[in-house]
Amino acid sequence: MDAFLPATGLDEAAFFKENGYLVVEKALTLAEVDELRRETVSICRGERGSVRGIVPHSPDENDDEVMRQYLCIHFPHKISPVMHHYLAHPALVNVLTQVVGPNVKCMQSMLFIKAAGKPGQAWHQDEDFIPTRDRSLIGAWIALDDATVDNGCLWVLPGSHKPGILWEMQQQNDPRFDCTDESFGFPYRDEDAVPVEVPAGSIVFFNGYLLHRSLPNTRSSGYRRVLVNHYMSAESLLPWLPSSSGKRIALTDYRDIILVAGTDPYAYKGVENIAEPGVRPDKQGGCLPPEKQSADSLSFKPLLEDDDD
């Protein structure tokens, strides 16, 4: 396994820290890649269990006809023992333990199929979607085809993870991209982006604050298949809501704040008047049930005058 390191003299962990991404070329054997490709067909055919949005397919439909219908399948590891097995492939764990720490957990997998003509994803930071408490989120993007500019490889803005700021997001209608919101307002230009072209079997690791995107697959046939697993430090809690909840806890930002030093990169949001002063209960008469305690934690309601007696 060769890590792709441009001539910087940095070791893998140092390169990742500096640039926010790292390529390990041909980390998986072609036999392993082939196993994952065959499993992709089975998942798309619905043979591994039910997937929301996958329709029953008749044996008359060939594999290409089936796969072309799906851009990406979320959480394949939940139904596929093969995908589950690859979450802890030694080539992944080796790098993860170097750049995240000794204790690493996975919370998501995504299987991109991205047939010819399918769109990419606009600029975003993965911590917009999966909020860790310690900025330890890391994607492991496992190429199941050679990923090139024309079939829609990953593009990154090297070093864009360093400020540790989550840029604003907005809806976009750019036909090059799927429905995912785009980050905007960041101080980098599209021309600063680097295409991460890799041969099949390679893994691109990238930091959860790194701005990245992918462009459409502009070829006339074939796929740009990728298995992307997301990991984080096991020490961090994961305050994550399923998208079905309709809430984005990662982007929720309590703005009843006072800056006491330096600059606030989110100053443009202004401040709000939310907290109400109040007396902390002194435990006389016992405690409230836990759900009532947390509901009150942001709004210490003043005790009624009668309570002070």
Q: Which residues bind ligand AKG (CB under 6 A)?
A: 110, 112, 120-121, 126, 139, 154, 212, 214, 226, 228
Token digits for 68? 């072309």
Q: Rounded to an integer, what distance in angstroms lies between the CA atom of residue 214 and that of residue 88?
A: 25
- Residue 33 C-beta: closest distance to ligand AKG, Å: 16
The identity of residue 285, as a single letter, is G
Tell me whether residue 202 or residue 214 sits nearer to ligand AKG (CB atom): 214
Three-state helix/strand/coil letters over 159-219: CCCCCCCCCCEECCCCCCECCCCEECCCCCCHHHCEEECECCCCEEEEECCCCEEECCCCC
Tell me whether residue 75 or residue 300 sits nearer to ligand AKG (CB atom): 75
Tell me whether residue 25 or residue 296 sits nearer to ligand AKG (CB atom): 25
Q: Rounded to an integer, what distance in angstroms lies between the CA atom of residue 234 and that of residue 252?
A: 23
Tell me whether residue 51 or residue 154 sits nearer to ligand AKG (CB atom): 154
- Evaluate whether 36 touches 227 at the Cβ level (below 8 Å): yes
- Residue 180 C-beta: closest distance to ligand AKG, Å: 8
- Residue 196 C-beta: closest distance to ligand AKG, Å: 10
Tell me whether residue 87 or residue 110 sits nearer to ligand AKG (CB atom): 110
- Residue 118 C-beta: closest distance to ligand AKG, Å: 9
Strand partners for 212: 124, 156
- Residue 174 C-beta: closest distance to ligand AKG, Å: 14
Q: Report which residue's Cβ sits closest to ligand AKG.
A: 214
